[in-house]
Structure 1
Amino acid sequence: MRHPAPALTVIGGGLAGLTAAITAAESGAHVTLQEAHHTLGGRARTSEAPYLTHEGPHALYNGGPHWTWLEQRGLIGPLAPIPALEGARLRFHRGGVLRRTPPAGLLRLLRHRPERVPVDEDFTTWATRVAGPDAARAAAHYTAVALFHHDPGSLSARFVQERLRRTAKVPPEAHYPVGGWSQVVDRMASRAWNLGVRMETLSRIDALPTDTPVVVATSLDAARRLIGDSSLTWQSGRTTLIDLAVRSRRGDAFAVSGIDFPAWLERFTAQDKTLAPHVESLIQGQVPIAPDESKADGSARAETLLDLALPGWRERTTWRRDALAQGRTGALDRPGTTWRDRPAIDRGDGVYLAGDMVAAPGVLSEVSFTSAIEATTLALRRPVTTRGLDLNRA
């Protein structure tokens, strides 16, 4: 006797939602994906021309399993290499000036494998003991590129050390899809479509469906409201995002890492000239800010770096946008916690979570991919029954 093909509903059309939909459809499931916005991609959406920007710097790291998953399906597409000469213009803001090399103590810390670093101790305490206070501070601030947090040293030592090692690797793990992340999103959407996924945009869901298992691939805040589960909380970053277009000038820095304070600025057109009009440079960056600080505080610190990295940038500016990102930059693990302590993927009764704030390993977008694959695997193992959901559970 043949069993009917399983069905699955995916709520959210970002990287996690598209990954879940593709994974399920490849297993033969009937998949419906519902997205509240008119376009797919979530925070991986790329803005429209002439300046192709994202919600903060976006890079695709090749050190995680999501890279293999994308590559096997031909979804990565062309990548923009970092030119050797541009790469030589990575600068470190230290002692009020831009320097060519990071503090030596930071390099000493890179020798320590994350799995040997304590979970229950904050990074500053551990790194100070290993390499001294200056190195600890420098390393913590350098990881702002992957943490979007104003005080990375207060987070779990193992959590920060993993990101320090991943972001400082040579050759770099970070790669950039030509034309921005939307190119990857479009390829993922095409694959989902070809696999028979029914994709509905401008479809805002106020209650979970009860006739299929469901993967909720939204922000954690949206999932908490939709599921009615007040326990769905976890700390994320708060940062000022800077998007800036300037007329190009020879000698502009490629990227600046904040050592005096957490920050990261990067000239994305150094590797991908399609992101801005000819003879213009597109700079994107982020400056994490404390809970009592404003977006303007982050912008002011970004301008300190711009004055050093791009002389005369004010007179050369052709376009600028500053924004505040809060709770949209991935999970942060405090001392004593790991990714296993975040909100569980399996919420019971046929409901599964996916996204960058849930209990799955990885760095930045890798968490979205790994959680989506796990959520889909669990959902398709569930017997084909009609769910009875208690949407009022606490």
Structure 2
Amino acid sequence: MTASASHRTHGTTPARDRVTVVGGGLAGLTAAVAAAEAGAPVTLYEAHHTLGGRARISDGPYRVHEGPHVFYTGPMWSWLKRRGLIGPTGRVPFADATRLRFLQGGELRRTPPRGLLRLARIPAGGAPVDETYTEWATRTAGPAAAAATANFMGVALFHHDPGSLSAAFVHRRFRRVTGMPPGVRYPLGGFGQVLELMAARARDLGVRIETSARVDELPADRGPVIVATSLAAARGLLGDDSLRWSGGRTVLLDLAVRRDRRDPFVVSDLDRPGWVERFSAVSPLIAPRGESLYQAQFPVGPDEGKAEGLARAERVLGVALPGWRARETWRRTALAQDRSGAVDPPGTTWRDRPAVDRGDGVFLAGDQVAADGLLGEVAFGSGLTAAPLAVGALGAQRRDRGAGARAALDLKFG
């Protein structure tokens, strides 16, 4: 590892007797907390000057980060909640819950197409792995329902063509986001609030966290390492070109406007994948008083750029938010590549993605690793899988060194 002498030891504990975590986002912090809870000494290195990855929250008065501000109930939610790592949460006010709109044929509708509702009644395991979602959904509910439902799933997949992905992959996630009762939960401070609590928990457990500490290489004399970075960064660090998987490419628009009671809470574009949501409806403190803070996400194809995604977003806003341009007070834009989880092509599942265990005491965690889940749950799940493997490898290395030392003594004095 390259940075400073402090990277070779943690206090009086050599690096070979510790679990090292590279990356301080959701995957890295999950792995660090889980390994420390198992009793291992842990050091975490983050190249940025603050922790968080894509959940890193911006400074006020507009509090935003890359990607959604929500959780879905499930293993990740339960694990965090048991440890008190979520903080205060909110629910959508009833008046706003009724302001969900669907854009179809260029017009806003209050109800989704019947075919979408029909597909939502099919059990999560009812779609095949080896067909595209469009093929299966068309056969099941017709082409119009298949197209609308695939586009609706832009909210959870950040992909420009969800219909081209595995039917099983898309449908399981469709069932998660449309489940009744709704399984969505809103941390009032977004994911940034959760990351701060996770970092505090890690430090309480004795994890040493070093920021502005880029790791450029892995030394020979080291303990287990959990690489909790993007696959692109992991490829460079580990020199392993096989660390590749498909993901989404999405234009993100954070937009603040002066509040208007007529504005919708959510707009789902059913003509092409796109989603606009007013997060200040649940967390009013993320924007100044009297303003609404929206986040829009519009996936773009390989031949499209940021300008095309923003143009689509603005067209949707023109239909959904009357007079929004005159009311705009702030905006932030980004083009996010492979920053929102893996997507599985037909014939593949999450088990076909790059494995967590890379051998030789190296483990992988992150958005595109072999772990199941929706959105950030993949990073969480892979971090939680990597931690006990790394702790076990640390114990094995210590036993091997002990056996070697005893053998050397036997040779010397035997």
Q: Same fold (TM over 0.5)?
A: yes
CA-to-partner distance for each residue in 1:230-258, whole Å, 9 max, x for gaps? 00000010111011110001110000001
Specify the alignment match of 1:160 in structure 2. 170
Question: Secondary structure of 2:298's match?
Answer: strand
Residue type of the partner of 2:346?
A: P
Partner Cα distance (1:22, 1:105) in 2 = 44
Does the residue aligned with 2:397 lie in a helix, a strand or coil? coil
Partner of 1:364: 375
Residue 355 of structure 1 corresponds to which residue in structure 2? 366
Q: CA deviation at 1:386?
A: 11
SS for the counterpart of 1:300 is helix
Structure 1 residue 54: Cα displacement: 1.1
Q: Deviations over 1:35-87 (max 9, x none)?
A: 0001111111111101001113231111x211111011000111121111101
CA distance in 2, matches of 1:170, 1:114: 13
- Quote the sequence identity (%): 61
Counterpart selection for 1:188 from 191, 194, 198: 198
* Structure with more helix by fraction: 2
Between 1:267-276 and 1:167-176, the stretch displaced more is 167-176
2:109 pairs with 1:99: yes
What is the CA deviation profile of residues 121-149 of structure 1, one whole-angstrom value per residue up to 9, with x for unaligned ones? Answer: 00000000000000000110000000111
- Are the equivalent residues in 2 in contact too, given 1:6–1:28 (CA < 8 A)? no
Q: CA deviation at 1:173?
A: 1.6
> Residue in 2 aligned with 1:322?
333
Which runs of structure 2 are paired with 1:1-394 in the superposition (5 Å)? 7-62=18-73, 64-210=74-220, 211-382=222-393, 383-385=396-398
Contact kept? 2:366, 2:382, Cα under 8 Å? yes
Q: Distance in 1 between matches of 2:67 and 2:76?
A: 20
Mapped to 2, the partners of 1:370 and 1:56 lie a distance apart of: 18
Q: Is the 8 A contact 2:38 2:388 kept in 1?
A: no
Residue in 2 that maps onto 1:390: none
Question: RMSD between aligned alpha carbons?
Answer: 1.5
Deviation at 1:170, TM superposition (A): 2.7
Please report how far the alpha carbon of residue 6 of structure 1 lies from its aligned counterpart in structure 2 after TM superposition. Answer: 5.5
> C-alpha offsets along residues 235-282 of structure 1, whole Å, 9 cap, x if unaligned?
010111011110001110000001011100001111110110000110
Structure 2 CA distance, aligned partners of 1:34 and 1:354?
A: 14
Paired letter, 2:109 = R
Runs of 4+ off more than 6 Å: none
TM-score (norm 2): 0.90
**Paired residues of 2:368 and 2:378 also in contact (CA < 8 A):** yes
TM-score where L is the length of structure 1? 0.95
Q: Cα offset for 1:321?
A: 1.7
1:171, distance to aligned residue in structure 2 (A): 2.6
- Alpha-carbon separation, structure 2, partners of 1:97 and 1:380: 55
Question: Match for 1:153: what amino acid?
Answer: G
Is contact 2:280-2:286 (8 Å) kept?
yes
1:302 Cα offset (Å): 0.7
Structure 2 SS opposite 1:182: helix
Distance in 1 separating the partners of 2:171 and 2:268? 17
Which residue identity lines up with residue 53 of structure 2 in the other structure? G
In the TM superposition, residue 301 of structure 1 has moved relative to its aligned partner by 0.8
* 8 Å Cα contact 2:17/2:398 also seen in 1: no
Provide the rounded CA distance (Å) in 2 between the counterparts of 1:330 and 1:373: 16
Structure 1 residue 181, shift from structure 2 partner? 1.4
Q: Is residue 70–residue 190 contact of structure 2 (8 Å, CA) maintained in 1? A: no
2: CA distance, partners of 1:6 / 1:107 = 54
Q: Do the aligned residues in 1 keep the contact of 2:340 with 2:376 (CA within 8 Å)? A: no
Q: Structure 1: which amino acid aligns with 2:190?
A: G
Partner deviation per Cα, 1:77-121 (whole Å, 9 max, x = no partner):
111211111010000001111100000000100122232310000
Show structure 2 runs of 5+ residues with no match: 1-13, 401-414
Larger radius of gyration: 2
Instruction: Report the alpha carbon displacement of residue 384 of structure 1 after superposing the two structures with TM.
Output: 2.0
Residue identity opposite 1:28 in structure 2: G
